[in-house]
Amino acid sequence: MQAVLYHRYGGPEVLRLQEIEKPAPGKNEILVKVHAATVTSGDARLRSSDFPPLFWLPARLIFGLFAPKKKILGHEWAGTIEALGPDASRFQVGDAVFGTTTLLKTGSYAQYMCIPENWKNGVVEKMPSNLSFEQAAALPVGAMTALFLLRKAEIRSGMDILVYGASGSVGSYAVQLARALGAEVTGVCSTQNQEMVRSLGAHQVVDYKQEDYTTLGRSFDIVFDAVGKTSKRKARNVLKPKGCFVGVNSMTQEQAAHLVEIREMAEKDLLIPFIDRTYPLSEVVEAHRYVDSGRKRGNVVLTIPE
């Protein structure tokens, strides 16, 4: 089978499309024929080992001090089940599923992969019936991150929320989820992405190139940093007395219940993945270069060949 591997840290050029042996499922595993995966900022960070100085050494110890331990990238995916391990019972052969590969030894940049039906750090569920594989693959990481942080902030109907970085993957889901949960949403993005953010449901859009969000003259119940480029200290200027700051630089946790909730919202058209660009697996280097450029809007998807 074909898979994209990398054996050293560096730029997109370290990624190589190779032929490797097709895996066989273990006792509690499912063999997934992968139809689509994504290029997330996390994939790009792992490939380049571009971690903040404070986390550089701990991250290298986890992911590989001198070379990557996990040779195949890909944090999220969608596909169909081709085979079941002897103890696997949650799904059936032919089921369309989606999920993550968090802290597994393999990623989703491959035609096939084996994943557990249940494990501590990641999730897999039946995918939304109304979405394509490309759309479903773009849901788990960004949407679960947004939902986890919104729940942490105890979002409620009628709240005012500001989403900083509203045009990225996490931000685009935060806007839609907050709107679906009854909040009044202000999105902060660049000039060229204003219409996109409005289309996602933001009630007001602020162009950060023209205006500092801390000078809006209004206050918010939640400031949600979806790109890790603002701070709690700065957000205090616009937070209400009991307001909450949450951001992607904090710890999050994947929960099966959240993925189920996301699937149900997608099936009701309350959550729609925004796909910026789609690349075939053979063009993974170009896909990573685009993500590295910082121009990505929403999600970048890889289609996996038969």
Question: Per-residue pLDDT for 55 more than 80?
Answer: no
Could you give the CA distance from residue 75 to residue 63 in angstroms, rounded to a whole number?
A: 14
List, in order, residues 6 or more apart from 53 with CB less than 8 Å away. Answer: none
Asked if pLDDT for residue 194 goes beyond 80, the answer is yes
Arithmetic mean of pLDDT, 223-235: 95
Query: What pLDDT score was predicted for residue 63?
Result: 83
What pLDDT, on the 0 to 100 scale, is given for residue 69?
A: 92
Q: Both tokens of residue 155? A: 């979002």
Mean pLDDT of 147-175: 98
Whether residue 65 is predicted with pLDDT greater than 80 in this model: the reply is: yes
Q: Which residues contact 52 (CB under 8 A, 6 or more apart)?
A: none
- Sort strands 299-303 and 29-38 into parallel, antiparallel or unpaired: antiparallel
What is the mean pLDDT of the segment spanning 11-30? 97
Residue 46 has pLDDT above 80, yes or no: yes
Q: What is the pLDDT of residue 58?
A: 76
What is the C-alpha separation between 40 and 138, in angstroms, rounded? Answer: 9
So what's the pLDDT on residue 61? 78
pLDDT of res. 296? 95
Q: Is the pLDDT of residue 300 over 80?
A: yes
The percentage of residues in the chain with a pLDDT greater than 90, rounded to a whole number, is 92
Q: Domain 2-139+273-303, what architecture?
A: Alpha-Beta Complex (3.90)
**Which range is least confidently modeled, 50-59, 136-145, 184-193, 251-260?**
50-59
Q: Where are the domains of the chain?
A: 2-139+273-303, 142-247
pLDDT band at 235 (very low <50, low <70, confident <90, very high): very high
Which pLDDT belongs to residue 79? 98
What 19-26 contacts at long range (C-beta under 8 Å, 24+ apart), as own/partner pairs, is 20/110, 22/111, 22/112, 23/106, 23/112, 23/113, 23/114, 24/83, 24/114, 25/83, 25/84, 25/85, 25/88, 25/114, 26/85, 26/114, 26/116
Q: Report the C-alpha gap between 294 and 169 in whole angstroms.
A: 12
> pLDDT class for 198, splitting at 50, 70, 90?
very high
Q: What pLDDT, on the 0 to 100 scale, is given for residue 288?
A: 98
φ and ψ at residue 267, rounded to 5 degrees: -70, -20
3-state secondary structure 90-143: CCCCCCEEEEECCCCCCCCCECEEEEECCCCCCCEEECCCCCCHHHHHCCHHHH
Q: What is the pLDDT of residue 93?
A: 98
Spatial CA neighbour of 15 closest among 42, 40, 48: 48
pLDDT of residue 59: 76
pTM of the predicted model over 0.75 = yes
User: Within the chain, where are the H helices?
Assistant: 41-48, 53-63, 133-137, 140-152, 169-180, 194-199, 232-235, 256-267, 284-292
Three-state secondary-structure class, residue 157: coil
User: What is the length of the chain?
Assistant: 306
pLDDT at 168: 96
Any idea what DSSP says for residue 215?
A: G
Fold of 142-247: Rossmann fold (3.40.50)
- Residue 212: band (very low, low, confident or very high) from pLDDT cuts 50, 70, 90: very high
Segment 285-293 shows an average pLDDT of 97
Over residues 169-184, the pLDDT tens digits come to: 999 999 999 999 999 9
Q: Which residue matches tokens 């729940």?
A: 151
- Report the pLDDT value the prediction gives residue 141, as an integer from 0 to 100: 97
Residue 299 has pLDDT above 90, yes or no: yes
